[in-house]
Amino acid sequence: MKKVSYIVICGLVVLALLNLFFLFYPFQNQSKSVIIPPHSNSIQVASILKDNGIIKNKFYFLIIGQIFKVFYNLRAGEYNFDPRVSTWMVLGKLARGEITIYRITIPEGWTALDIGNLLARAELIDLKKFFNLVNDANFIIGSYRFPKKLQGYLFPDTYYFMKGANSENAIIEQMLSRFKKKVIDAYGEEIKAKGYSLEKIVTLASLIEKEAIVGFERPVIAGVFYNRLKKKIRLQCDPTVRYALGKFDGKLTTEDLNVKSPFNTYIHTGLPPQPICNPGIASIKSALQPLDVDYLYFVSKNDGTHHFAKSYEEHKQAKKKYQGN
């Protein structure tokens, strides 16, 4: 009996040492990141970690994980593991849900293409899936149904995204929800009173966003655009031509100004068919609250500001002075 007891005790000691070994001994020598997809079960999580060399033994990992209820409310997302991390430390990180969060800032005036490229570089989206949704979607946030083409409504702001947990759908929904809160909820009644649809206000705001460099000129530029729209004068907004060309740098040529495109406001009267960028709240407010001015023209003074003119003759003189033509 003593011999049997001795063997049992030795076995238990060996088992305890093995447990300690698999729990606390580090098995990797370099930092690694893994993504735990939403709704992953414990076996799937163990397989991901084992395949990436983060844990050595799935059995011990699963047993200890079940004992400490690590897998009950597992948070999906990207987990970063430092070199020489032990199984116990891995379980602790999972239990605490210590996923990597990416802070992404979308500047005012960026296009959907700009936003998509930024998110793709951060490996947060599949670019093709993102553009498929942006160009042909059916999003309803609250009671508001957004247009199928979402450029103009991807609200410029700072967001916090997580790999794996944020699909293309979820990321776009966050931006649209921010737009609804900042624009529709805040200015919905004012938009109705203006007599323009939200789509036209956002489209006009996108032109203001691209034309204005200094903030105090936004409502003045808005006033000029409203005056031209009322008089059915073509807006002749250079950014619409650049958008049509896909050309955002350099001086526009006469040939450029005559490019055949529904976005070209040099050859078409009225607003473009949709926004040319995603405007910020300042440009949207300017589209809603334009300054009451008599100006019909403006030209860049090459210092970030514009010369505004009431007559074409004055405008021609300003163009000659500041642009040399």
Task: CATH number of the domain at 20, please.
Answer: 3.30.1490.480
Are residues 74 and 41 in contact, defined by beta-carbon separation less than 8 angstroms?
Answer: no
Q: Beta strands 158-162 and 101-105: pairing type?
A: antiparallel
Q: Would you tell me how many other CB atoms lie within 10 Å of the CB of residue 183?
A: 22
Residue 6 domain-assigned (yes or no): no
Three-class SS state of 104: strand
Arithmetic mean of pLDDT, 1-12: 51
The CA distances from residue 210 to 64, 222, 249, in Å, are 57, 12, 13
CA distance 251 to 115: 25
The DSSP symbol for 137 reads -
Residues 83 and 111 in one domain: no
Of 263, 220, 265, nearest to 245 (Cα)?
Answer: 263
Give the mean model confidence (pLDDT) for residues 185-190: 95
Q: What is the pLDDT of residue 13?
A: 45
pLDDT above 70: residue 107: yes
What are the distances in angstroms from CA 278 to CA 150, 151, 153, 176?
A: 9, 6, 6, 11
Q: Note the pLDDT of residue 323.
A: 83
CA-to-CA distance for 231 and 66, rounded, in angstroms? 73
Tokens matching residue 94: 């999972």
Residues 259 and 200 in one domain: yes
Residues 288-321: pLDDT tens digits?
Answer: 999 999 999 999 999 999 999 999 999 999 999 9
Q: What is the pLDDT of residue 236?
A: 97
Q: Residue 162: which pLDDT band, with cuts at 50, 70 and 90?
A: confident
The pLDDT tens digits of the residues spanning 123-152 come to 999 999 999 999 988 888 888 899 999 999
**Rounded-to-integer distance, Cα 41 and Cα 259, Å:** 56
Whether 213 shows a pLDDT value over 90: the answer reads yes
Instruction: Work out how many domains the chain is built from and give that number.
Output: 3
Last residue of a domain, one of 69, 99, 129: 99
Q: Which of 190, 217, 236 is the last residue of a domain?
A: 190
249, 292: one domain: yes
d(CA 233, CA 229): 6
Q: Given a cut of 60, is residue 3 above it in pLDDT?
A: no
Residue 4 falls within a domain, yes or no?
A: no
- Domain assignment of residue 269, given as a range: 195-323
Q: Please report the pLDDT score of residue 16 as a whole number.
A: 44
Confidence of residue 21 (pLDDT cuts 50, 70, 90): very low
Residues 165 and 244 in one domain: no
Do 95 and 110 lie in one domain? The reply is no
Residues 282 and 212 in one domain: yes
Residue 7 is assigned to a structural domain of this protein:
no
Q: pTM for this one? A: 0.85
| Measured distance CA(71)–CA(95) in Å, rounded | 7
pLDDT digits (tens, 9 = 90+) for 29-83: 578 899 999 889 999 999 999 999 898 889 889 998 998 899 988 999 999 998 8
Tens of pLDDT, residue by residue over 221-255, are: 999 999 999 999 999 999 999 999 996 667 889 99
Structure tokens at 267: 């050859």
Per-residue confidence band for 164, with pLDDT thresholds at 50, 70 and 90: confident
Q: Give me 156's structure tokens.
A: 């410029």
210/304 same-domain check? yes
Q: Are residues 139 and 36 in the same domain?
A: no
Domain boundary among 99, 116, 134: 99
Question: What does the alpha-carbon distance between residue 290 and residue 276 come to, in Å, rounded to a whole number?
Answer: 19
CB 88 within 8 A of CB 65: no
Confidence band, pLDDT 50/70/90 cuts, at residue 154: very high
| pLDDT, averaged across the chain | 89
Quick one: what percent of the chain has pLDDT higher than 70?
89
Classify residue 228: in a domain, yes or no: yes
Question: What is the mean pLDDT of the segment spanning 162-178?
Answer: 88
CB-side exposure of 8: number of CA atoms within 13 Å?
5
Do 202 and 290 sit in the same domain of this protein?
yes
Least trusted range by pLDDT, from 169-178, 195-204, 243-252:
243-252
